[in-house]
Amino acid sequence: MAAALKAGAAMPISSSFRDLKVWQQSMLLVEDVYRLSRGFPVDERFGLTSQIRRSAVSIPSNIGEGGRRKRRKAHLNYLDIALGSQGEVDVQLEIALRLGYLAPAEHKRVARRVDEVGRMLNGLIESLQPTDADWS
């Protein structure tokens, strides 16, 4: 491939979901959630710990699965599911804060990333929505 690129030639455009900033940020969110939830009480292992981890993992998983779909409608459906999971993580972090499982500073730091992922997902969904020209 390097031989095929001449000086000044444009780099090939990648269409992998891994190149999406929202996927990258959601993977960082998964890491944050796993780190934070290690400190949850042991009796929450099958409760909040499991639920928040599954919700967090669902976000990049659905972005990736949607990115592999050939039809825009299917892609949008998976992004919508990812957005729902982002909402779940948001609520579950609030529950952890209220139960005293998270310090306010920890909650604030991760909640910012949750919000950022949500904004990015909304932007991506909006950019993929059909326009009036698509219906004519």
* Average pLDDT across the chain, whole number: 89
Task: Flag whether pLDDT at 136 surpasses 90.
Answer: no
pLDDT of residue 131: 75
Q: Where are the domains of the chain?
A: 17-129
Asked whether 52 and 89 are in contact (CB, 8 A), the reply is: yes
pLDDT of residue 10: 42
**Residue tagged 């909304």 (tokens):** 122
The pLDDT tens digits for 110-119 are 999 999 999 9
Crossing angle of the two packed helices 21-37 and 48-68, in degrees rounded to 10: 160
The pLDDT tens digits for 37-80 are 999 999 999 999 999 999 999 999 999 999 999 899 999 999 99
Q: Which CATH superfamily is domain 17-129 in?
A: 23S rRNA-intervening sequence (1.20.1440.60)
